[in-house]
Amino acid sequence: MSEKLIPVPDGLVGSRFDVAAAKMLGISRAQADQLITDGQISMDKPRLTKSTRLMAEDILILSLKEEQEKPEEPLASEMDILYEDEDVIVVDKPVGVAAHASAGWTGPTVLGSLLRRGVPITHLGAAERRGIVSRLDVGTSGVMLVCKSDVAYIEMRRQFATHEVTKIYEAVCQGNLKQDHATIEAPIARDKTSTFRFSVSPVGKEAITHYDVLERFGNATHVKVNLETGRTHQIRVHFSSIGHPLVGDPLYGANPQMSEHLGLERQWLQAMSLTFRHPRTRVWMTVRSHYPLDLEKALETLKKDHEAKLARDYAMGK
Catalytically active residues are 137
111 touches 100 (CB < 8 A): yes
61 touches 44 (CB < 8 A): yes
Q: Measured between alpha carbons, how far is 286 from 112 in angstroms, rounded to an integer?
A: 25
Residue type, 306: H
Q: What is each CA distance from 121 to 113, 138, 261, 300, in whole angstroms? A: 11, 21, 42, 38
- Count of residues making up the chain: 318
For β-strands 141-147 and 269-277, DSSP reports them as parallel
SS (H, E, C) the chain: CEEEEEECCHHHCCCEHHHHHHHHHCCCHHHHHHHHHCCCEECCCCCCCCCCECCCCCEEEEEECCCCCCCCCCCCCCCEEEEECCCEEEEEECCCCECCCCCCCCCCEHHHHHHHCCCCCCCCCCHHHCCECCCCCCCCEEEEEEECCHHHHHHHHHHHHCCCCEEEEEEEEECCCCCCEEEEECCEEECCCCCCCEEECCCCECCEEEEEEEEECCCEEEEEEEECCCCCCHHHHHHHHCCCCECCCHHHCCCHHHHHHHCCCCCCEEEEEEEEECCCCCCEEEEECCCCHHHHHHHHHHHHHHHHHHHHHHHCCC
